[in-house]
Amino acid sequence: MVNGKDIVITSRIRLARNLKNYKFPIKMSSEESNNIISNTNEAMNHSGLKFKLIYMKDLSELDKNVLIEKHLISPALAENKHGGAILLSEDNKISIMINEEDHLRIQIIGTGMCLKECWEVANKVDDVLEEYLDYAFDKELGYITSCPTNIGTGMRASVMLHLPALSISNQTEKLLYGVSQLGVAVRGVYGEGTKSMGYLYQVSNQGTLGASEQTLIEKIEQIVWQIVDKEKRVREHMLKNNIDELEDEIYRAYGILTNARTIITDEAMKLLSYLKLGKEMDLIGKVKDKDLYELMVKIQPNSLLSTIDKDMTVKERDRKRAELIRNELLG
């Protein structure tokens, strides 16, 4: 039986906030940027949680790219070398990006479908900050943000989905176009402007004005479960009508991944997606105890480089990726 819970990889709530009497980050001076970092850090000291303050200027390009691959910071924050920072919780589930597009981006990430739980945590963090910081807020418009699409609640609720069956059967584009007409954005692995890898997609609300956080979350959940249901039905159709071809693709993927001596990211992601599909459909027992999504994160270029003490050429990195996958799958 196909389990819909396996299709939902992660949930994320992100709140955009700005402070009164400050320009937006793109126009701020270094002094103003540092004031916001200092004030935010001081406010979070009252949360009872342990956070690590990390300045973008203190990170190498590799370190920043690893944080991007782990979805802890955005490319926009990484580019703010002089005024950007992040407050990161010990378990990496709570991150507060400082001086990205907005002064603050509060982000909570959880496993599976847990938008409501993520919102509860985000709301508590937001309450702590609002007690000590003076937010830019309008009674009619809501929270004032740099991008007009975030005005209102300032909230983005997003879910990462694994949709291999819909992708393989060429149904993804039509489906995702349909949900985009309902005010939902569909993006690649790393958000706006990025492509899907390993048949992974992010689904999130497009606008934040004129609806409560609970309403937005319920809307996203409803649409996500509709997508999940379609993915399940296509998987069940494959089991019934194309089992031989499906098993062949899955075992070919396993054979390549456990024997390849060099492999690029896109190919590895596609093959791991097939393995994940096979595991979830009980078609291959060899990977039953493997966390294939975690492996997908580990093989990203910068995450891979971060485990090595020396610089590598692209060819050396592709060899290392193949070695890592072999060790993980056969170990």
The band of 195, judged by pLDDT with boundaries at 50, 70 and 90, is low
Structure tokens at 145: 């943000």
| In the chain, ranges of CATH 3.30.590.10 domains | 4-232
Which tens digit of pLDDT belongs to each residue from 212-227? 899 999 999 999 999 9
Q: What is the mean pLDDT of the chain?
A: 91
Q: How far is CA 171 from CA 56, 64, 281, in A?
A: 40, 35, 19
Q: Is the pLDDT of residue 129 over 90?
A: yes
Counting Cα atoms < 13 Å in the Cβ hemisphere of 150 gives: 19
How many of the other CB atoms lie within 10 Å of CB of 323? 14
Counting Cα atoms < 13 Å in the Cβ hemisphere of 243 gives: 8
Q: Is the pLDDT of residue 196 over 80?
A: no
Which tens digit of pLDDT belongs to each residue from 34-68? 999 999 999 999 888 889 999 999 999 999 999 99
Which tens digit of pLDDT belongs to each residue from 112-121? 999 999 999 9
Q: Is the pLDDT of residue 190 over 60?
A: no
Report the DSSP pairing between strands 51-55 and 8-17: unpaired
CB 126 within 8 A of CB 14: no
Which tens digit of pLDDT belongs to each residue from 62-104? 999 999 998 899 999 999 988 999 999 999 999 999 999 999 9
Sign, CA dihedral 26-32-34-40, equals negative
pTM of the model: 0.89
Helix-, strand-, coil-residue percentages of the chain, each rounded to 5: 50, 20, 30
Structure tokens at 109: 């990430």
pLDDT value of position 182? 81
Would you identify the CATH topology of the domain 4-232? Creatine Kinase; Chain A, domain 2 (3.30.590)
User: What value does the mean pLDDT take over residues 252-270?
Assistant: 97
User: What value does the mean pLDDT take over residues 244-269?
Assistant: 97
